[in-house]
Amino acid sequence: MSETLTSVREDETAPEPPLPRDSIGKTVVTTLDECVVEIVSDSGEGAQRCGQSLGAIAARMGNGVWTVEIIPAEIQPPARSIAGASGNRIRLGAKRIANGGDGVDVVVAFNEQVLLGRVRSGELKPGCTIFLESKWRTHGDPRIAAAYRETYEELVELGYLVIEVPFEALCKPIVPDPRRGKNMFVLGLLCSLFSFDLKLAREQVRLTFRKKSDTVVRSNLALLEAGAAWAEGNLDVKYRIPASRAKEPQIVVNGNTSIALGVLASGMEICAMYPITPATSASHYLSEVFERVGGIVHQAEDEIAACTFAIGASYAGKCAVTITSGPGYSLKQEAIGLAVMCEIPLVVVNVQRGGPSTGQPTKGEQGDLLTTIYGSHGDAPKVVMAASTIEDCFYSVITARKIAEAFNMVVVVLSDSNLATSQQPFPRPKFDEAWLAPPIDQSPVPFGTKPYDWNPDTGLIRRIVPGQPNGMHTITGLAHDRDGRVAYDPVINQESIRARSLKLASLQKTLKPPPVFGDPEGDLLIVGWGSTRGAIEEAVTRARDEGLKASSTHLHFLQPLQPGIKEIMQRFKQVLCVEQNWCDRPDDMMIDENNRRYSALAMMLRSRFLVDIDCWGEVMGQPIKPGTIHDLIRARLA
């Protein structure tokens, strides 16, 4: 390695390394409250790794961080295509950050086409700083060179500050394939730009490449240093985002990894799944680590098999989880009904994506709420929870298993593609043995114990597991009596449906009202669920800072609903559901009071509480921006 470095340094053809400049006094250090950075490239150029590393370094610095993956729908989209942008958005802040923010302040782009994609979709703030790979300007193909120049002109025209950087040329002296190395160069550049501690950056690089050889680690460190040095020498701006380091250890993972860690921690032993975007990465990570703690990830032959496999395992005593996304969830519906009917505890994770049908596999949406609550034919009551943060993803699995086993119910945990791929630090969980309890119990049951001895008040039953002496019985998806025998008696049918329904009410009695973010009363209450929480609360904060009387509440339990929601709503003049699913726009010509379709949660709340709840939603495939909601609040309260 050192040999290569020496020999390359002597290579006269390499561009001059930037000379140290006496920039003290010339570099302006601007203090920012927050900043949104994006790194975009073709697939395989390491932009995602660069962004994740930057986020992790910022978290180490003590900054608030939220990272969002920019993922093309195809595995290998054509190079230099507008729709092929791959990379990462990193929102850095002085305080805790809970969403990806509004517009981008700084972009690093490895080609102008992928950048154009971001510009066209309105992601860039006016005046945004752009670092653009300049090698295309002199590309051998005149069409490419022309396209580059044309775009460059356009960007300058639009008022962006475009800084052309020959990234690959600068990396060439350090690594043989600069296409793959420039991401760490950029990381160094950005660390310098944001005045990050290079020591932390080095540690992060070592961690990132811990599975690679020493040579790889060393060359990446060299790239990092070179990037930082280049920035020191060539830029006359620097930012500083005040940070306060957490007192407790934090973990930085995305929502899917968080779910997988939650599965580890929950004491479950079996995860049955079938590949589906965007849920699969949770199973990928779980497959890597589950066996080490005695767990098994079973990739079944289809979604139905995955679900029924999990049901079989749960029936046999080991509550199992199946992780899926919308289309898979639809396929599982019949089996979920079976678990409901047989009162088998089961955890289902639905990482929602755009729908209907195949919809938008890599994009987020909150479109599955009603199908999870009301799906499967007949009256099939099940518990539905939603994670609203990365941390929620972890604990929701533990909670879900507990409820599933205590109530012998199906518990669906809703996440979505926004949470799945976003990273945010949260306090490192402190393991508790109680998470794993109760273990499987093979103690004999007293003679005469009935498998469906519904408690008349609560609807609860005591679970009997195969292997328990004296407990033999057959469970069935057919209507059945307290012994589990097929019931031909209409009264028994009604009694059993009542009991299964009653369990939801029982669970509801153990829940507390949702907290209100902001004042407990005012002019406008925004109600949300799931991944929109960060954006809603940020928008509410902005509005309140302007003196508007807006508050919000966020629901973790969608079925049963937490108590006290009606009382909360009644303390506000207006109630607005903000969701990332479709609701008709009242100003559309065809839409009126009689035909307007409300967003999912609004529909539920309206029907339950007879309160005139309005709704707003969009299905753009990307997280709703705080600014959008802020505008919404202002429009309502102006």
Q: Which of residues 427-446 bind other proteins (CB under 8 A)?
A: 428-446
Q: Which is nearer to other proteins, 298 or 625 (CB)?
A: 298
> Rounded to the nearest whole angstrom, what is the least distance from the CB of residue 375 to other proteins in the complex?
15
Residue 272 is a binding residue for other proteins (CB under 8 A): yes
Q: Which of residues 162-201 bind other proteins (CB under 8 A)?
A: 199-200
Kindly report the length of the chain: 638
Distance CA 471, CA 473 (A): 6
> Rounded to the nearest whole angstrom, what is the least distance from the CB of residue 452 to other proteins in the complex?
11
> Rounded to the nearest whole angstrom, what is the least distance from the CB of residue 205 to other proteins in the complex?
9
Residue 206 is a binding residue for other proteins (CB under 8 A): yes
Amino acid type, 559: Q
How large is the angle between the packed helices 390-407 and 490-508, nearest 10 degrees? Answer: 140
Q: Which is nearer to other proteins, 15 or 515 (CB)?
A: 515
Distance CA 307, CA 304 (A): 5
Q: Work out which of 164, 203, 519, 584 binds other proteins, going by CB under 8 A.
A: 203
Distance CA 556, CA 562 (A): 8
Q: Which of residues 57-76 bind other proteins (CB under 8 A)?
A: 59-60
- Stretches 185-193, 313-321, 565-573, 590-598: which one binds other proteins (CB under 8 A)? 313-321
Q: Which is nearer to other proteins, 50 or 165 (CB)?
A: 50
Distance CA 34, CA 242 (A): 9
In the shown chain, the binding pattern of residues 510 to 549 toward other proteins, with x for contact by CB under 8 A and - for none, equals xxx-xx----------------------------------
- CB 586, CB 593: distance < 8 Å: no
Bridge partners, 427 (sequence order): 250
DSSP 150-175: HHHHHHHHTT-EEEEE-HHHHHTTT-
In the shown chain, the binding pattern of residues 569 to 608 toward other proteins, with x for contact by CB under 8 A and - for none, equals ----------------------------------------
- CB 348, CB 380: distance < 8 Å: no
Closest-CA residue to 241 (of 63, 439, 28)? 63
Residue 492 is a binding residue for other proteins (CB under 8 A): no
> Rounded to the nearest whole angstrom, what is the least distance from the CB of residue 491 to other proteins in the complex?
20
Closest-CA residue to 280 (of 318, 330, 328, 314)? 328
Q: Which of residues 546-565 bind other proteins (CB under 8 A)?
A: 556-557, 562
Q: Which of residues 341-360 bind other proteins (CB under 8 A)?
A: 342
Q: Which of residues 619-638 bind other proteins (CB under 8 A)?
A: none
**Omega before residue 513 within 30° of 0, cis:** no
Q: Work out which of 136, 167, 230, 309 binds other proteins, going by CB under 8 A.
A: 309
Q: Which is nearer to other proteins, 171 or 261 (CB)?
A: 261
Q: Work out which of 154, 334, 584, 631 binds other proteins, going by CB under 8 A.
A: 334
Residue 420 is a binding residue for other proteins (CB under 8 A): no
- CB 364, CB 623: distance < 8 Å: yes
- Stretches 106-114, 155-163, 245-253, 525-533: which one binds other proteins (CB under 8 A)? 245-253
Q: Work out which of 316, 370, 591, 637 binds other proteins, going by CB under 8 A.
A: 316
For residue 228 the two structure tokens come to: 């930082």
> Rounded to the nearest whole angstrom, what is the least distance from the CB of residue 201 to other proteins in the complex?
11
- CB 378, CB 442: distance < 8 Å: no
- Stretches 25-33, 96-104, 141-149, 466-474: which one binds other proteins (CB under 8 A)? 466-474
In the shown chain, the binding pattern of residues 17 to 56 toward other proteins, with x for contact by CB under 8 A and - for none, equals ---------------------------------------x
For residue 140 the two structure tokens come to: 């051998």
> Rounded to the nearest whole angstrom, what is the least distance from the CB of residue 393 to other proteins in the complex?
9
Q: Which is nearer to other proteins, 279 or 460 (CB)?
A: 460
Closest-CA residue to 336 (of 602, 345, 364, 1)? 345
Residue 257 is a binding residue for other proteins (CB under 8 A): yes
Q: Which is nearer to other proteins, 26 or 210 (CB)?
A: 210
Closest-CA residue to 46 (of 224, 218, 231)? 224
Q: Work out which of 100, 178, 327, 425 binds other proteins, going by CB under 8 A.
A: 425
The SS3 of residue 531 is helix
Q: Which of residues 394-413 bind other proteins (CB under 8 A)?
A: 394-396, 398-399, 402, 406
> Rounded to the nearest whole angstrom, what is the least distance from the CB of residue 207 to other proteins in the complex?
5
CA angle 597, 556, 436 (to 5 degrees): 140
Closest-CA residue to 504 (of 617, 340, 304, 633)? 340
Count of chain residues binding other proteins (CB under 8 A)? 117
Residue 138 is a binding residue for other proteins (CB under 8 A): no
CA dihedral 210, 279, 334, 457 (to 10 degrees): 80
Sort strands 522-529 and 550-555 into parallel, antiparallel or unpaired.
Answer: parallel
Distance CA 55, CA 47 (A): 12
Q: Which is nearer to other proteins, 473 or 544 (CB)?
A: 473
The SS3 of residue 324 is strand
